[in-house]
Amino acid sequence: MGRFSRYMFRRPGLFVLGVLSVLFAGVLVNATVFGYLEAVRLREHWRERFTIRAIFREDVNRESMERIREEVARYPLVEQATLVLPEEAKARFLERLGLSEEAVAGISFPASLEVVPRHIEDLPEIAATLRAEEAFAEVFCGGKEVEGFLRLFRLLLGSLGGFLLGVLGFGVFVIVVTTALAVQLRGREIEVLSLVGAPSAFSLAPFLLEGLFGGLLGSVGAYLLSLAFFVPFFRLVSEAFPGFLWVNVEELLVVFFPLDLGVGCGMGVLGVLLGHWRARRRSP
Amino acid sequence: MAFLEFRGVSKVYPPGIRALEKVTFAVEKGEFVFLQGPTGAGKTTLFRLITQEERPTEGEIWFSGRRIDTLDPRFVPFLRQHLGVVFQDLEIVPDWTVYEHLVAPLVVLGVNGKEARKAAWNVLRLLGLEKKSTFRARWLSGGEKQKLCVGRALVHRPKLVLADEPTGNLDAASALEVLNLLWNLSRNDCVTVIVATHNEALLERFPARAILLEQGRIRGERF
């Protein structure tokens, strides 16, 4: 252990740089994860609003409707499929508009199937499958507003994913550079150790431990910073916007802890392995 | 089979510089041998072939009953753990202390802390460097650095000691002291020692075999 700590504190600047890059990446990862969880929560909320309505043709009998409902309910993308019979459709219509039965005398209300998707982005695919079914006269899935919303949602998730990858890549890059620099600065030490019979794993070990330690320190720092930000933030916004669907802060912090540790230690070890490999490859 | 044996070993560096040419000799266990020759004769190259820092262009090298010139690179560290080398360019780390240099080969071998400390202090006393154990190598004089390098080569009790111009930076008295140390090691502990030198005056003082190397070829031997 003495060997490791001695190496670390001889190049404290590089070590601190590595820790800061993990901390910075950890905070950004936490912010991204918060954004993602919030988006998923809103998606769950909106999912019920985005229901596909498939109108049965008039010649389809009740048994066929039941059979089709069961088949549709078995689709992997479908969360729920409900059969709405003409009587129920009529009752809903009257209730919604506040009309009496006489006002709609002579108007027929066709039976329909209401389909709730597992994920709202699957809406167009389910609608296309239903349109291929001959039993339906028409399939409604929200029109242009829904398509616009879905595009926006896909863009949001894609950007979050890209941002997350970028942040992780940047963090690993900083550690690779600092490790390669440290290996080159310690090239003499590594060379001498190699000449007295140290296998390459022996010279790699202090760097690995340093990466792991730096990653651990950075991730704990990122967690504490997130804690310091999110707890007062949620207190404030839940008071200001009580009706909004906020992610539960306790759950969020439980997710952050293992995530930060994993990301920090992973970045530290991966960065050291790549940096060590790069520095050794470049040395004569 | 001899303890160390070179069989027709040649080494050609790109772009065709012949450092060694058909070198053949054998050294027995516990033997003390001088490798004598002028600068550029190929003494350092010969040592680098033993430590596997270089591979021969042709020929075979045998050490302790094993052929080492074709050794898998993964096993080279284990070969080096049996060697004690005093490098001509010293190979020391300026930031390390004297004590850290002496302990390094023992740490690599996995010797426990107490034994490592004891062995390092024995060598420090032997070389008269005990008062400088905490000094960084960069603060030492040329002669002290050379002594440190000798100490590092002996501290782990290797089977074979290769000393490349070990007295180059030393005054006459210190040079004799270091060579006496290596001589006694060979006599008392049966360690094989090969000393490369161009200092003929030193050769006269030790009744040892000398291999004469010139322009990469063995020109003869002297007893």
The CA-atom distances, in angstroms, between A269 and each of A1, A272, A274 are 18, 5, 9
Is the CB of residue B52 less than 8 Å from the CB of residue B80? yes
Which pLDDT score is estimated for B4? 96
List residues bridging with B6 in a β-sheet: B25, B61
Per-state percent for chain A, helix, strand, coil, to nearest 5: 75, 10, 15
Q: Which residues of chain A are within 8 Å of residue B95 when distances are taken between CB atoms?
A: 10, 189
Residue B58's pLDDT band (cuts 50, 70, 90): very high
Place of tokens 């154990």: B133
For B22, the enclosing helix (H) or strand (E) is strand B17-27
Is the CB of residue A153 less than 8 Å from the CB of residue A120? yes
Instruction: Answer yes or no: is pLDDT of A284 > 50.
Output: no
Q: How many CB atoms lie within 10 A of CB B202?
A: 19
Q: If you measure CA to CA, which chain B residue comes closest to A203?
A: B108
Determine the distance in angstroms separating the CA of B220 from the nearest CA of chain A, rounded to an integer. 31
What are the residue ranges spanned by the domains of chain B? 1-82+158-222, 91-157
Instruction: Answer yes or no: is pLDDT of B217 > 90.
Output: yes
- How would CATH label the architecture of B1-82+158-222? 3-Layer(aba) Sandwich (3.40)
Which pLDDT score is estimated for B82? 94
Instruction: Answer yes or no: is pLDDT of A85 > 50.
Output: yes
Q: Which residues of chain A are within 8 Å of residue B77 when distances are taken between CB atoms?
A: 194, 197-199, 202
Instruction: Answer yes or no: is pLDDT of A118 > 90.
Output: no
List residues bridging with B34 in a β-sheet: B195, B210
Q: What is the mean pLDDT of chain A?
A: 81
User: CA B49 to CA A159: how far, in whole Å?
Assistant: 57
Q: Which residues of chain B are within 8 Å of residue A192 when distances are taken between CB atoms?
A: 91-93, 104
Instruction: Answer yes or no: is pLDDT of A7 > 70.
Output: no
Which pLDDT score is estimated for A2? 54
Determine the distance in angstroms separating the CA of A189 from the nearest CA of chain B, rounded to an integer. 6
Say what the ipTM of the complex is. 0.87
More confident site: A28 or B121: B121
- Reference A260, options A211, A217, A223; nearest CA is A223
Report the percentage of chain A scoring pLDDT > 70: 88
- Reference A57, options A5, A169, A133, A154; nearest CA is A133
Judged by average pLDDT, the poorest of A26-40, A269-283, B39-53, B80-94 is A269-283
**Angle (nearest 5°) at CA B92 between B86 and B94:** 160
**What φ, ψ does residue B23 adopt, rounded to 5°?**
-85, 125
Each residue's pLDDT tens digit, B20-32: 999 999 999 999 9
Which pLDDT score is estimated for A141? 79
Instruction: Answer yes or no: is pLDDT of B105 > 50.
Output: yes
Which pLDDT score is estimated for A211? 83
Determine the distance in angstroms separating the CA of A181 from the nearest CA of chain B, rounded to an integer. 17
User: CA B164 to CA B186: how far, in whole Å?
Assistant: 16
CA B127 to centroid of chain Cα atoms? 17
List residues bridging with B83 in a β-sheet: B160
